[in-house]
Amino acid sequence: MASDGTGAAFLAGHIRLVAETRDRRAFATLFDHFAPRVKSYMLRLGANAAQAEDLSQETMLTLWRKAASFDPERAGAATWVFTIARNLRIDAIRRERWIEPGEPSEDVPSLDLPADTVLATDQAEDSLRAALAGLPDEQAMLLRMSFFEDYAHGDISARLGMPLGTVKSKLRRAMLRLREVLEDVR
């Protein structure tokens, strides 16, 4: 378990408590951990501050309602929560697109991004994918676990049976190698 008390097993256990006993303390812990992360994620997905806050709240409410559907064998707690968040964002975008032309849409931001922004984002994503593919398998796996699956270093250590110091040093080397590969890809 991570030293900050938010490791994958810890979070999964709290989701289980919410599902089985509607434990408000467990939910408060989950809320404190995930709500700011989900809000930040929503902002990165292009939501404005108010939308990000609303979608973060809706994500946490969905966690409360659907905690019983969480299956730790299929996904980690963070993966499950961020999948809920992503789906809610997609639903919000779909609702925004259904606004008829000529309807007042002061509260709805434009979904049309400048072409150069879309192109730059696509190129950055392609570069990152290529850079990850250019890393040794172990380094790519460690980066995915740490940054995309939101595993704490201690959880990675436990899952892989690797000493914590080794996980940290390998992640550091992987980040350095990723930087090098990204520079080569550009």
Read off the pLDDT of residues 102-115 as tens digits, 9 standing for 90 and up: 554 444 444 555 66
Identify the pLDDT of residue 5: 57
Average pLDDT value for residue range 143-156: 79
Identify the pLDDT of residue 16: 92
Give the DSSP letter of residue 92.
H
For residues 101 and 130, which has the higher predicted lDDT (pLDDT)? 130
Question: How confident is the model over 137-149, as pLDDT tens digits?
Answer: 888 888 888 877 7
pLDDT band at 153 (very low <50, low <70, confident <90, very high): confident
| pLDDT at position 130 over 70 | yes
Q: Which amino acid appears at position 156 of this protein? A: I
Distance CA 152, CA 2 (A): 6
Distance CA 142, CA 165 (A): 13
Distance CA 151, CA 129 (A): 20
Contact, 178 vs 135, CB < 8 A? yes
Identify the pLDDT of residue 132: 78
Burial of 53 (0-12, 13-18, 19+ CB in 10 A): middle
Question: How confident is the model over 42-53, as pLDDT tens digits?
Answer: 888 888 888 999
Domains, the chain, in order of start with CATH, read: 1-112 (1.10.1740.10), 114-186 (1.10.10.10)
For residues 55 and 75, which has the higher predicted lDDT (pLDDT)? 55
| pLDDT at position 41 over 50 | yes
